[in-house]
Structure 1
Amino acid sequence: MPLPTFAHLSDRALIRVGGPEAQHFLQNLVTADIDGLEPAGARAGALLTPQGKILFDFLVYRMGDGYLLDTPAETAPEFLKRLTFYRLRAKVELELLGDDTGVIAVWAGGADVPDTLVSVEDPRLAALGRRLAGSVAALSQALGGADAGLDAYHAHRIRLGVPEGLRDFDYSDIFPHDADLDQLGGVSFTKGCYVGQEVVSRVQHRGTARKRFLQVESASALPGRGSEIISGGKSVGVLGSSATIAERSFGLALVRLDKVAQAKDNGSLLECGDAEILVKLPDWAGFSWPEPDTAE
């Protein structure tokens, strides 16, 4: 069997949520349906502001009688602090795990890896591969071969059209629908209330999501994150992360769906920096282009 392609995701950290009230605590706080999470299961999720914007995004893993939150390392201490704020007197244990315990993504090939805290298919999209959590040194040794590196993983993620917080958008700036979290299994529309739930439910039931992260492709080099997507001299979106794969550029961009649909219908060029770009829906998208005449 060929060795799997894997990378230690050194930009991620793990927060353990345990105690007898851990499930109830998370269920009433985050967008994911924690009550429906099976043993050894995983889901995407987010903690929102009261106004419904993404404050932190993460993957949640059910492990024994507790949970692990897989989240950007840069903001993990702040996330832990916010969880502690919401804990109040609940019987919940919160702990940021040390650097020796981390996350490894495996997305080509496969192998049985012993002694993992977590070994799950990525809950957002099966094509992303598997997520392993545990001792980074032990997992890397068990997988064999060389670590492909963080850039290789993110190129894989970008090619599949899956956005992530801090890589593609800043926290407190956008709504779950903007980040396609509703499409990637990260929002429950059937469970009870959670922070920001009213706003998210309104967008879902009224079908008023105007902006989405979509895929961008170009034969030319793409500029840096935050560069505007231009059509007809007007901004229709903003570029997120990007990568070069086989001499082509791929990226993710948060765009106005109606404006891009109108540009495509009119045959207008879409540009980002000096690059002419193609903007397309991800293969997994459950939404479609709006009618161009809905543009304002």
Structure 2
Amino acid sequence: MSTTTQFLESAETLDMSKLGITQLQNGYVCQLSDQSLIQARGDDAASFLHNQLSNDVEHLNDTQSRYAAYCTPKGRMLASFLYWKMDGNIVLQCSASLQPALQKRLQMFVMRSKVKLSEVSEQFAILGLGGKAAEAFLLTQFDQLPSAINDKVSSDDAGTLVRLHDAFDTARYQWVVAQEKLTAISANMNVSLLKVDASIWRLGNIHAGLPQVVELSKEKFVPQMINFELIGGVNFRKGCYPGQEIVARSQYLGKLKRRMAIATVKTDVVDVAMEIFSDNDPSQPCGMIVSAERNFGEGFACLVEIKLADQEQGKVHLGASDGPILEFLPLPYAYLDVTE
């Protein structure tokens, strides 16, 4: 039995039906077992990834994490990454559903570069934490907590801690910790923090407007269609990378017509890549589901990619022109032109 399994079984994991926002604000922890880690090491690791991803890797420092898209030559996202430096290497976090194919594809382009790619998911636990008790617990492991979004702190003993976008009106942190360390501290963590399912973390990402590409959604979106540049995932001043021309053209030539929005819907099933339909033109889909999780109360919360012209309350349906109605919520950030 792995350390991760021991940690998960050492306390009850509560699901959404037993939770409220107040409980999460008090303090919670969950295991992000749907995520994988790819490590890039070697003298050319930064320059290699800089030429493959949509964001700047060469100038990444030890106190930052960043988002990046990995695109096809046509600008469609094969994956979304969160990446940071750890022990002089670069770690890429992605959906576990994509990791094997991504690593294989990246390896094809290494050629003579001095870089080695390896999966290190088994060496670490990826934990999501939030709330007052979580901050108090983390201060027993780190000298200080990262204060700005996407900042990180690290230590040889405690691992890597990244401050991510807030959700449920509370700060959230992602902790990448060695499995051996997790064994040593899991008992104290279980006493002070509410154990919840990873779906709660994914729901928080939805409310924070944070998309992630998974197996069902790969090659569906140009980065701007899911607001990826708005969360810092695209650097328009860096050099070339696969799909760069298409991504830049989408930004600079004309107003963006498709964006991502947050919505709720009362229904029993919502799947990634499910199509949505507008009353403006019910004969064809106006967008699709990027991610979805059961929300507090009835139904689901979703991230939806949609034509801006069709984003109207009471006029967008899930799955068919007469399907359940989507109700749109405000994004926690504005639609801006990040190149200005």
Residue 86 of structure 1 deviates from its aligned partner by 1.1
Cα deviation per residue 1:234-266 (whole Å; 9 max; x = unaligned)? 432222332333314321111111222xx45xx
Q: How many correspondences in the alignment?
A: 278
Q: What TM-score do you get using the length of structure 2 for normalisation?
A: 0.74
| Runs of 5+ consecutive residues of structure 2 not aligned to the other structure | 1-24, 143-156
Residue 222 of structure 1 deviates from its aligned partner by 5.5
1:257 partnered with 2:308: yes
4+ long deviations beyond 6 Å: none
2:252 & 2:204 partners in 1: Cα distance?
32
Cα deviation per residue 1:77-119 (whole Å; 9 max; x = unaligned)? 2111112111111111211114241311112231223523321
Partner of residue 152, structure 1:
200
8 Å Cα contact 1:238-1:253 kept in structure 2? yes
Partner of residue 277, structure 2:
230
Which residue among 196, 203, 226 is the counterpart of 1:179? Answer: 226
Written as runs of structure 1 = structure 2, the 5 A alignment for 1:27-176 is 27-109=50-132, 110=135, 111-112=138-139, 113=141, 115-122=157-164, 125-127=165-167, 129-136=172-179, 138-139=181-182, 141=186, 143-144=189-190, 145-166=193-214, 170-176=217-223
Partner of residue 12, structure 2:
none
Q: Indicate the SS of the match to 2:221.
A: coil
8 Å Cα contact 1:160-1:282 kept in structure 2? yes
Cα deviation per residue 1:94-152 (whole Å; 9 max; x = unaligned)? 11114241311112231223523321112xx3547212112246346164434311111
Partner of residue 294, structure 2:
244
8 Å Cα contact 1:223-1:272 kept in structure 2? no
Distance 1:68 1:285, change over 3 A: same
2:43 & 2:27 partners in 1: Cα distance?
38
Percent identity over the alignment? Answer: 23
Q: Indicate the SS of the match to 1:99.
A: helix
Distance 1:20 1:3, change over 3 A: farther
Partner of residue 293, structure 1:
none
Partner of residue 294, structure 1:
none
Partner of residue 270, structure 1:
316
Residue 19 of structure 1 deviates from its aligned partner by 0.8
Between stretches 62-71 and 183-192, larger displacement belongs to: 62-71
Which residue among 248, 252, 255 is the counterpart of 1:205? Answer: 252
2:119 & 2:278 partners in 1: Cα distance?
45
8 Å Cα contact 1:50-1:195 kept in structure 2? yes
CA RMSD, Structure 1 to Structure 2 (Å): 2.4
8 Å Cα contact 2:79-2:214 kept in structure 1? no
Q: What TM-score do you get using the length of structure 1 for normalisation?
A: 0.84
Partner of residue 153, structure 2:
none
